[in-house]
Chains A and B, each alone.
Chain A
Amino acid sequence: MSSILDWTALELSKAVRAGDVTAADATEAYLARIEAVEPKINAYLRVAAKTARAAAESVDKKRQAGKPLGPLAGVPLALKDIFVTEGIETTCGSKILDGWTPPYDGTHARRLREADSVMLGKVSMDEFAMGSSNENSPHPPVRNPWDTDFVPGGSSGGSVAAVAARTALCTLGTDTGGSIRQPASLCNVVGLKPTYGRVSRHGMIAFASSLDQAGPVTRTVRDAALVLGAIAGRDEMDATTLDAPVDDYLSACDQGVAGLRIGVHRKAMELEGLDEDVRVAFTRSLEAFKELGATLVDVELPHFDHAVATYYILCTAEASSNLARYDGVRYGARVEAPSLLKMYNATREAGFGAEVKRRIMLGTFVLRASSYEEYYGRAMKVRTLIKRDYQAAFGQCDLIASPTSPVPGFRIGERIADPLSMYLSDVFTIGANLAGLPGISIPGGFSSAAKPLPIGLQLVGPTLGESLLFSAAAAYEANTGWHTKVAEL
């Protein structure tokens, strides 16, 4: 028997608009599901049941009044706690923002509400989006619904775990170096990082401003297209948003992949530490594309090996700056101390976790006048070279395919003491952030373990190539059906 929980956002919103089901019914179904499985997953930091019910009621009343409903009518969704929500505590997964209740809604919360969705609550994340396992958090670790001993990935671990555990129909995550795509890969869901500037950053707490992008986490490619359509577009509140028109992403999902040239960066397949199951799954994915009528072409990304180092210089530099405002003076946590300097130190010592402190220190170091040219200046130059690599590659192909994560997953606690191995989780995803390109991770197979773990497939497109990504991803999804497998809880 089909449960309301089985419906995609596209199906549910159609049913709500048609009056076949109410937003209230959908909301209650998800709130009940949260109550049932959330203790096993820890995806939520805050369930906003009261405001969710009020939102559902207002959507239903709007329909009863004969007013047209938005594209996400009655869709119960959750936001990564990095998104600013008026009247609902927003902490970015950090103790330093404990108790901060924003006086304003960010563009994401506002546009999703205007699309008539229902916000269920705020989901967990690595503190300030720094991490690949969701373990950098003062809260209990989020667990992978496919095997609760495993991490869900990060930093948008709560966003993907909630979708995989069906405690939210869709969520928003953020992706600075792979923080949507890598966890989506680990939890068998769809995760999209749009082109830099496609989605506003207003009301998204900054980690690394030149790399951060918000994007949807969903069960299907079409749902990702639906959600992106609701949040994308120029925003006067963010000077870096692009003025380009927003495509009809749902139509793009029907275009198919036949005739598209899929680029493969063969050298990346020689990466040390690339899991054999991931390699096998990826090879099968390429075969699937061929069956669907796409052609495969080899591409070169000559500066691929420098991407991780470049990324960690730029993102730590920007983070050290963006996190300077958490000083205990105006909002969030403050540790009282006898002098201003001592108050700053005590507040930041107690408020930030170890990984955040590590990145602030690295970033502060690279921005010193005496090391700026050697680190930040050079990293900016390499970033330009990486952008050019992609431009050149897209002269030969339409999309570039790769695994999303080099491994299917790892156990909670396994890598927390080894930041460098953790940083390598992002090796396939970072390039898109450095070059500002759109990338999507879609379910692409399972590992050979006794308890199989999901393996994601990543597609990266040219600037504003989201429609191309949706065309190829939707065709692949329909052909392989990996997304139909659901974690049993």
Chain B
Amino acid sequence: MPVEDWKPVIGLEIHCQLKTKTKMFTSCGYRAGEDPNTQTDAYTLGLPGTLPRPNKTAVEYGLRLGLALECELHKESRFARKHYFYPDLPKGYQITQSDHPYATGGTVRFPDPTDHGKALTVRLVRIHFEEDAGKNLHLVGDDVSLVDYNRAGAPLLEIVSEPDLRSAAEASAYMRELRTVIRYLDISDANMEEGTMRCDANVSIRRGDDAPYGTRCEIKNLNSFKFLEQAINAEIRRQVDLLEGGGTVIQSTMSYDPGRDQTKVMRTKEEAADYRYFPEPDMPPLEISQEWIDSVRTTLPELPHARRERYGALGLSIYDAGVLTAEGALADFFDAVLAAKAPAKKACNWVTVELLGRLNGDQRSIEESPVGPEHVAELIGLIDGGTISGRSAKEVFDKVYAESTSPRAIVERDGYAQVSDAGALDAAIDEVLAAHPKQLEQYTGGKVALKGFFVGQVMKKTRGQANPQMVQELLAAKLPPVDDT
């Protein structure tokens, strides 16, 4: 059977660290990047006699995501303990949610990475709260390990998808969309490199799109979009090779080695830990009232897919809408350009091509843009009103970007206003025609394409400031009729 006939089935488990001031179950503050063991308290260290207390803001952030992804939110959910011994886990168990998560179902809608006209939908199994572990530090050349408990107890959401993804590229696109939604909601930095968003991928393969699912393997700790895609593809290759060679896939936990671009088995299901889950007796069930849900709902921003639909209705392509909505701040910027009465397509072009091109070149974010949305709208107005030509508009934009001043001020200061005075243009056209009798003769002889040459000469003569539309019209009136006999 050809290798291409093996179809991958992928589901992701994504951990997202919430940016609350304090940890999930204690009033201990937490900020990433502080000195080791400076962000701890008695609870964080698992000292005897300490008890967990749910962080209301973390729960509210969870509700925001649950509402945004249209999950079913449960009025009563429960915490559970998951047990294993490891030095970075202070209590010998992690408090999480097991049988009774606060949110189930829900969907993530995102543009198909291979067909920009199409939207894909991934269903969610659940979202639940849990607390993070600390970090073990193994010092090179030293035979001791150190533990930093700063991160221990930091609030996490775990977002579990159904196995609805069909390629590594889809998995990556799904994850990007989820990151965008999380950032829109302002509940997490959702940064893979910094570990505030982490991913485990479940991968299986099957023969054809309707065959039953194969045995899945879970690749742990994928910490960039690049590794996510590479690891999934490596795992697909491993499973195909295995099955093509007559072997079977054993349900396993895998790690990905980017150096070799290979996945390898960490442990099989038989060797898997028994986490001995049981209901957390230190906290009553988490109760979420309808009033709370309703009040959180009123704080939700417009979400990326709704924005994409709105931009689509304005005539933008799905691709452009996707670019504009990838970051909430960029879409906010674009909306501000629209609010300043700029037409959507032109605004999109100036923002996504001209502005983003320059910002990306300078490694600046949209928040750091020296060009304001009102500048973009004003510039478009100057072009559309005939004050400046499209060509000089780019020069003007360069100056706006460099100096962060209004386009109109630059046009006036540096004389970019195009010549729309018919008298002045008439004179220029007369001079050009007089200076190029040979071309004029060829024109009347039938070489009508030379009209463009005359326009170019007029533009040159006016140093690009002639209104090209008017030059076209005036020139048409002055050129002698073509001899078409």
* A contact residues vs B (CB 8 Å cutoff): 83-84, 90, 92, 97, 100, 102-104, 106, 201-206, 208-210, 236-240, 317-318, 320-321, 323-325, 327, 329-331, 340, 344, 364, 367-370, 372, 376
Contacts and interface: CB of A to CB of B under 8 A. Distances in A.
In the complex, the 9 A-B pairs of residues with the closest C-beta atoms, listed nearest first = A324-B92, A209-B281, A367-B276, A210-B281, A84-B49, A205-B48, A203-B49, A325-B46, A239-B283
Interface in B257-276: 274-276
A239 B274 contact: no
B480 interface: no
B110 to A, nearest CB: 35
B144 to A, nearest CB: 11
Contact of B92 (A201, A321, A369): A321
Contact of A239 (B47, B87, B93, B282): B282
Contacts of A208: 281
B48 A325 contact: yes
Contact of A102 (B46, B49, B83, B93): B49
Given A103-B42, A237-B51, A324-B92, A372 B278 contact: yes
12 contacts: A102-B47, A103-B42, A104-B42, A104-B47, A202-B50, A205-B48, A238-B51, A239-B51, A240-B284, A321-B93, A329-B87, A329-B147
B214 interface: no
A274 B53 CA distance: 43
Interface residues of B, number: 30
A368 B52 CA distance: 24
Interface in B8-48: 42, 45-48
A106 B43 CA distance: 12
B283 to A, nearest CB: 5
A239 B54 contact: yes
A327 B92 contact: yes
A236 B53 contact: yes
A239 B53 contact: yes
A202 to B, nearest CB: 5
Contacts of B145: 340
A90 B284 contact: no
Nearest to B46: A325
B274 A368 contact: yes
A325 B44 CA distance: 12
Given A84-B48, A209-B281, A364-B276, A325 B90 contact: yes
Contacts of A203: 49
How would you classify the secondary structure of chain A's contact residues: helix, strand, loop or mixed?
loop
Interface string B59-102: 00000000000000000000001010101001111000000000
Interface string B309-343: 00000000000000000000000000000000000
Contact of B81 (A84, A106, A321, A364): A321
Contacts of B276: 320-321, 364, 367-369, 372
Contact of A331 (B47, B51, B53, B85): B47
Given A102-B49, A202-B51, 16 more contacts: A83-B49, A102-B42, A204-B49, A206-B282, A238-B53, A239-B52, A239-B53, A321-B81, A323-B92, A324-B85, A324-B91, A324-B93, A325-B92, A327-B92, A330-B45, A369-B276
Interface of B: 42, 45-54, 81, 83, 85, 87, 90-93, 145, 147, 274-278, 281-284
Contacts of A239: 51-54, 282-284
B281 to A, nearest CB: 4
Nearest to A85: B49
| Residue in A203, A324, A364, A369 with the greatest tally of chain B CB atoms within 10 Å | A324
A209 B282 contact: yes
A340 B92 contact: no
A107 B92 CA distance: 24
A348 to B, nearest CB: 10
Contacts of A340: 87, 145
Contacts of B54: 239
Contact of A367 (B48, B278, B281, B283): B278
B28 to A, nearest CB: 12
A240 B281 CA distance: 9
Contact of B283 (A205, A237, A240, A325): A240
A209 B51 CA distance: 10
Nearest to A332: B48
Contacts of B51: 201-202, 237-240
A106 B51 CA distance: 11
B45 to A, nearest CB: 6
Contacts of A325: 46, 48, 90-92
A97 B49 CA distance: 13
Contacts of A210: 281
Contacts of B277: 367, 369, 372
Nearest to B86: A340
B281 A369 contact: no
Contact of A321 (B50, B83, B87, B284): B83
Contacts of A364: 276
Nearest to B143: A338
A327 B147 CA distance: 14
A321 B278 CA distance: 9
Nearest to B25: A239
| Residue in B50, B83, B274 with the greatest tally of chain A CB atoms within 10 Å | B50
Contacts of A329: 87, 147
Contacts of A202: 49-51
B273 to A, nearest CB: 10
B95 to A, nearest CB: 11
B225 to A, nearest CB: 33
Nearest to A348: B85
B130 to A, nearest CB: 16
Contacts of A331: 45, 47
A92 B49 CA distance: 10
Nearest to B91: A325
B42 A330 contact: no
A100 to B, nearest CB: 7
B47 A237 contact: no
Contacts of A236: 53
A287 B90 CA distance: 54
Nearest to A212: B281
A331 B83 CA distance: 19
Given A106-B49, A325-B48, A369-B276, A240 B282 contact: yes
A97 B274 contact: no
B282 A97 contact: no
A95 to B, nearest CB: 14
Given A317-B278, A325-B92, A376-B278, A206 B49 contact: yes
Contacts of B90: 325, 330
A149 B288 CA distance: 56
Contacts of B87: 327, 329, 340
Contacts of B92: 321, 323-325, 327
| Residue in B48, B51, B52 with the greatest tally of chain A CB atoms within 10 Å | B48
A438 B102 CA distance: 32
Nearest to B84: A324
A318 B81 CA distance: 10
Given A321-B81, A324-B85, A329-B147, A100 B48 contact: yes
B128 to A, nearest CB: 18
Nearest to A204: B49
B305 to A, nearest CB: 37
Contacts of B282: 201, 206, 209, 239-240
A357 to B, nearest CB: 15
Nearest to B88: A329
Contacts of A317: 278
Contacts of A318: 278, 281
Contacts of A376: 278
A206 B278 CA distance: 16
Contacts of B283: 239-240
A335 B451 CA distance: 95
B352 to A, nearest CB: 49
A419 B147 CA distance: 39
A457 B92 CA distance: 40
A367 B281 CA distance: 14
